[in-house]
């Protein structure tokens, strides 16, 4: 139920803001707005405010199908217009007014993202400290010299280092670098009185087409540092049979010292090496008592991979930090983050078009609904971050030069501005049909990806 409510609220807010952008600029330009609708299909609720802008008699509607909305304006192409009201018709407006009205929807979504990211910065959010777990074996991070336990204080591209506020901040920069093919310089705090040092994470060496778990495993930075502690043990599991208990601290497996939870999880996964799991001698610290237990993980399949599992929560929660910024810094962070997410979205779309990025990155309503529920369950700030991300995606998507989208109409106006002639109705109809077909293909791919992710 939480997933459904969170999804409906998110979609309702994003569509309402998008359409309000069109509506508000249309009213400012003197265009008569006939209907403002959030949702399609059967009307669930309608009202007409008694006090409106001069000349406006807009009907506000909520439709039964929430995935969309529209602003219907007075337009001679859609019906007869009285001569005395022609100056209020959309098609009679100068080019700059029509372009501003069309662009206002996507711009409203981008502005909403700035507001949301700023609000999160002001409220503050609990995130893991940027201390690194032991890197995945044979990964870029291991080759770069990371061994686990390092605290990353600054990071950046092309020698321009900026403070790293949290592990999520670092993960975002790694994602940008991997998808753009840029190496990331890390500054690691000194330990035991030693000076801070810098190293380079050579992200340009990998061909990242999907921002998924496999990409981060290749890079080697998968999770923040956690204590190698055993949490809740499931009844009848391998952990229970071996005698493991909640709170046990794992010091070593065989002759290998264990320093963090991520390393312990990797060791358990790797206990299957082309055959049945092997029993391992675990050195355990239980309070003041040191124990050695024989643990034999169970075989589990993850897609085409066979991995080991013990049936217990592995790793204590990481150290957390509250990331909160002041009024001006928070506002600037909101602007910068919106710009960065927008730029990354555009680059990913471009890479998908030319085949450098996988179409698996396209997500549809099922994935959005799933993320909406998960983010809402984590708290207000995580839900606001989710809303900001989807708002950016909606704004950028609508600026794509597809005829059925706002970006397509802006392309018509660009042609009109360059040639002095409007696109003919015949060409408009052909382009609209082509745009609908392409959009249906994109929606089909996104829905297929959704089903694969959630049920595959």
* Angle, vertex CA 21, rays to CA 15 and CA 25, nearest 5: 155
Residue corresponding to tokens 């901040």? 169
β pairing state of 298-302 and 289-295: unpaired
Q: CA-to-CA distance for 343 and 396, rounded, in angstroms?
A: 9
Rounded to the nearest angstrom, the gap between the alpha carbon of residue 377 and the centroid of all alpha carbons in its chain is: 16
H or E element in which residue 62 lies: strand 59-73
Q: CA-to-CA distance for 108 and 104, rounded, in angstroms?
A: 6
Q: Is 127 a catalytic residue?
A: no
Rounded to 5 degrees, what are φ and ψ at 59?
Answer: -100, 125
Q: Pick the catalytic residue: 19, 127, 150, 187? A: 19
Residue corresponding to tokens 């397509």? 408
Q: Are 396 and 124 in contact (CB under 8 A)?
A: no
Q: CA-to-CA distance for 133 and 156, rounded, in angstroms?
A: 20
Q: Are 112 and 391 in contact (CB under 8 A)?
A: yes
Burial 241-260 (b: 16+ CB within 10 A, else e): ebebeeebbbbbbeeeebbb
Q: Are 34 and 53 in contact (CB under 8 A)?
A: no
Q: CA-to-CA distance for 257 and 141, rounded, in angstroms?
A: 19
Q: CA-to-CA distance for 254 and 281, rounded, in angstroms?
A: 5
Q: 3-class SS at 87?
A: helix
Question: Looking at the annotation, which residues are catalytic?
Answer: 19
């Amino acid at each position: 139920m939480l997933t459904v409510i969170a999804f409906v609220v998110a979609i309702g807010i994003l569509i309402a803001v998008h359409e309000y952008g069109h509506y508000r600029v249309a009213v400012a330009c003197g265009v008569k707005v006939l209907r403002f609708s959030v949702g399609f299909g059967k009307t669930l609720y309608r009202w007409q405010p008694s006090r409106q802008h001069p000349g406006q008699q807009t009907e506000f509607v909520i439709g039964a199908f929430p995935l969309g909305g529209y602003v219907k304006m007075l337009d001679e192409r859609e019906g007869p217009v009285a001569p005395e009201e022609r100056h209020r018709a959309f098609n009679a407006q100068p080019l700059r007014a029509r372009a501003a009205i069309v662009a206002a929807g996507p711009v409203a979504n981008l502005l909403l993202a700035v507001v949301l990211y700023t609000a999160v910065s002001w409220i503050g959010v609990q995130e893991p400290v940027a201390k690194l777990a032991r890197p995945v074996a044979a990964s870029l991070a291991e080759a770069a010299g990371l061994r686990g336990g390092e605290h990353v204080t600054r990071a950046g591209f092309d020698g321009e280092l900026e403070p790293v506020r949290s592990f999520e901040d670092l993960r975002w920069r790694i994602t940008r670098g991997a998808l753009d093919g840029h190496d990331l310089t890390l500054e690691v705090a000194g330990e035991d009185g030693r000076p801070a040092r810098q190293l380079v994470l050579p992200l340009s060496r990998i061909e990242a087409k999907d921002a998924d778990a496999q990409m981060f495993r290749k890079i080697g930075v998968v999770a923040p540092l956690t204590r190698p502690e055993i949490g809740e043990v499931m009844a009848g599991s391998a952990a229970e049979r071996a005698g493991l208990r909640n709170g046990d601290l794992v010091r070593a497996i065989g002759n290998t010292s264990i320093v963090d939870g991520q390393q312990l999880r990797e060791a358990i996964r790797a206990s299957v090496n082309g055959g049945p799991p092997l029993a391992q001698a675990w050195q355990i610290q239980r309070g003041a008592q040191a124990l050695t237990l024989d643990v034999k993980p169970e075989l589990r399949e993850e897609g085409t991979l066979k991995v080991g599992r013990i049936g217990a929560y592995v790793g204590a929660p990481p150290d957390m930090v509250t990331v909160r910024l002041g009024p001006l810094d928070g506002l600037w962070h909101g602007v910068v983050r919106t710009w960065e997410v927008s730029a990354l979205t555009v680059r990913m779309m471009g890479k998908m078009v030319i085949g450098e990025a996988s179409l698996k990155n396209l997500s549809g309503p099922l994935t959005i609904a799933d993320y909406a529920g998960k983010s809402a369950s984590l708290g207000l700030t995580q839900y606001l971050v989710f809303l900001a991300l989807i708002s950016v995606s909606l704004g950028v998507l609508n600026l794509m030069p597809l005829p059925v989208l706002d970006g397509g109409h802006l392309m018509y106006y660009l042609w009109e501005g360059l040639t002095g002639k409007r696109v003919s109705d015949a060409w408009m109809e052909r382009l609209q049909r082509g745009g609908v077909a392409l959009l249906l293909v994109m929606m089909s791919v996104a829905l297929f990806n959704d089903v694969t992710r959630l049920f595959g």
